[in-house]
Amino acid sequence: MKIELVSGDITTEHVDAVVNAANSSLLGGGGVDGAIHRAAGPELLAACRGLRELWVDGLPVGRAVATPAFRMPARWIIHTVGPNRGAGETDPALLRSCFAESLRAAEILGAQSIAFPAISAGVYGWTMADVARIGLDALSSYAGPIPLARVVLFSEDALAVWRDAL
């Protein structure tokens, strides 16, 4: 799989699957989650409401689930819940799992391209350097059929951190 690092707004990406750094409720939030819900439109919230019924306590940390992308240019949104450092979720395996499980979900859908944000690097409190190291480790060890993963960073500073890690 080819790995591309770019800066920009992930909601405008023309890829098959866009990964959302969601929370367990799947009902939207701030940061990239809020931006994705605004761009996809109210149909996304309705789809997420239906999905969350599948788990008693919401989508577990490190897992991923897909919905259509509705009004976004992508075909699907893959919602994954990153570990929240502030809540004591400090195990790197949980963050690695977000990347791996999102790839697995995209693979099942037949996606040919996938875009990731810097999961857990915002409100969930991980340093950008840690997210870059763990994310790139997960992406570079992927050996499945998806040809392209793009990491879309929200600032030039974040992009520089990922470039260094790569």
9, 16, 33, 91: the active-site residue: 33
Q: How many residues are there in the chain?
A: 166
By beta-carbon proximity to ligand ADP, the closer residue of 75 and 79 is 79
Least distance (Å) from ligand ADP to the CB of residue 119? 5
By beta-carbon proximity to ligand ADP, the closer residue of 103 and 119 is 119
Q: Using an 8 Å Cβ cutoff, are 82 and 92 in contact? A: no
By beta-carbon proximity to ligand ADP, the closer residue of 81 and 146 is 81
Least distance (Å) from ligand ADP to the CB of residue 69? 14
* Nearest one of 164, 77, 88 to 126, comparing CA atoms: 88
**What's 61-77 look like in SS3?**
CCCEEEEECCCCCCCEE
Is 33 in the active site? yes
Positions touching ligand ADP (CB under 6 A) are 9-11, 21, 31-33, 35, 82, 117-124, 152, 154, 158
Residue given tokens 């599948």 in the structure block? 54
Whole-angstrom Cα distance, residue 160 to residue 151? Answer: 12
Least distance (Å) from ligand ADP to the CB of residue 10? 4
By beta-carbon proximity to ligand ADP, the closer residue of 144 and 166 is 166
The structure tokens listed for 159 are: 């992009």
Cα separation values, 149 from 30, 56, 76, 84, Å: 24, 32, 14, 24
Least distance (Å) from ligand ADP to the CB of residue 145? 25
Whole-angstrom Cα distance, residue 139 to residue 136? Answer: 5
Which residues are the active-site residues? 33
